[in-house]
A and B are shown apart, each in its own frame.
Chain A
Amino acid sequence: DIQMTQSPPSLSASVGDRVIITCRASQSISTYLYWYQQKPGKAPNILIYGASSLQSGVPSRFSASGSGTDFTLTISSLQPADFATYYCQQSYSIPLTFGGGTKVEIK
């Protein structure tokens, strides 16, 4: 199984801050990587396809990059709506696996 490791597990940030979340795969997954946002009590929503392609409707303050084993999700200027938990997911091989999540909290 491909293990997905996210860091940090949680972070506190202020509105307007730049936030970077990382996701590392235990083996190369090319760009078979998705990012999801989950707000409390809600189902996740997909943000990023193919490591760097923004889902339609997602604000441009979100960006993502990476390939192989190392990936990042960046929020350029954190907004109140962005406080949530973020998960990466690899689609390179079965079993499909998620990272442990990064909870973004208000400072």
Chain B
Amino acid sequence: QITLKESGPTLVKPAQTLTLTCSFSGFSLSTSGVGVGWIRQPPGKALEWLALIYWNDDKRYSPSLKRRLTITKATSKNQVVLEMTDMDPADTATYYCVQSDHNTGWPYAFDPWGQGTLVTVSS
């Protein structure tokens, strides 16, 4: 069974850097075709894809946020970390960690998802 769980601060101040960790089990990020990504959802709004990292350290970012995002993996720890700099109240959202496995034949499909973590940006 694959599970993912997000962890990190629930409250950050404007201009600070957010660091979120995705801890997962049931798969390995050393397996060819496997990736982990981040998606966020502001309260009452739609989903927004942020970033993906793959087994071979290939990384993909949302162009609109690329300058603020860094995604890294710690394969032996089964963790993926997302850093987002220069946080703003508009970044208040639930941040989800997701698996994306190209071995399913469905590239960039997100399944499963973590439970999500609400991050509020406020002074």
Contacts and interface: CB of A to CB of B under 8 A. Distances in A.
A43 B116 contact: yes
Contacts, number: 55
Interface in A61-107: 87, 89, 91, 94-101
Chain A contact-residue range equals 20 to 34
Given A43-B96, A44-B47, A49-B106, A94 B114 contact: no
Interface residues of B, number: 21
Contacts of B64: 95
B49 interface: yes
Going nearest first, the 3 A-B pairs with the smallest beta carbon separation are: A91-B108, A43-B113, A96-B49
Interface of A: 1, 32, 34, 36, 42-46, 49-50, 55, 87, 89, 91, 94-101
